[in-house]
Amino acid sequence: MSRRNRRKKEVAYPAVAVFAFTRNAEFRNSFYQKESFNYFMKIIDSMMTKNHVSSEKVGFSGYKEDIAAFFSQAIDLYMSKHIDVELVLDTNEFDPEYVPNKYR
């Protein structure tokens, strides 16, 4: 058996790696109606409003650890907003057997 003669691709080491999305290439129309999409749109719109910027195109730049931290924190916030927290008026005693009304 002969081995395939595969050429190894040369790894590029640019100062900055830029990844760009083609408009509407990756998504179906149903995707734009998801709650998670609207959540991230609000984050982006809020960042742009706070910085007095208006544009249809947005770019994020930084070290990959910082970008990963930004997106992971945004996902954590999105996930935590679905946690139900119920106020207990009597804070003097903690009852581990307490079950909120909607779970009884």
The Cα–Cα gap between 79 and 87 comes to: 20
Q: How many domains does the chain have?
A: 1
Tokens read off for 5? 């003669």
Q: Quick check: is 16 in a domain? A: no
Q: Quick check: is 86 in a domain? A: no
Q: Quick check: is 64 in a domain? A: yes
Query: For position 12, what pLDDT does the model report?
Result: 79
Q: Stretch 38-66: mean pLDDT, rounded?
A: 89
Q: Quick check: is 60 in a domain? A: yes
Q: Quick check: is 74 in a domain? A: yes
Query: For position 45, what pLDDT does the model report?
Result: 92
What percent of the chain has a predicted confidence (pLDDT) above 90? 7
Q: Quick check: is 24 in a domain? A: no
Range of the domain at 75: 29-80
Asked whether the predicted pLDDT for residue 63 surpasses 80, the reply is yes
Q: How confident is the model at residue 2 (pLDDT cuts 50, 70, 90)?
A: low
Q: Quick check: is 88 in a domain? A: no
Q: Quick check: is 69 in a domain? A: yes
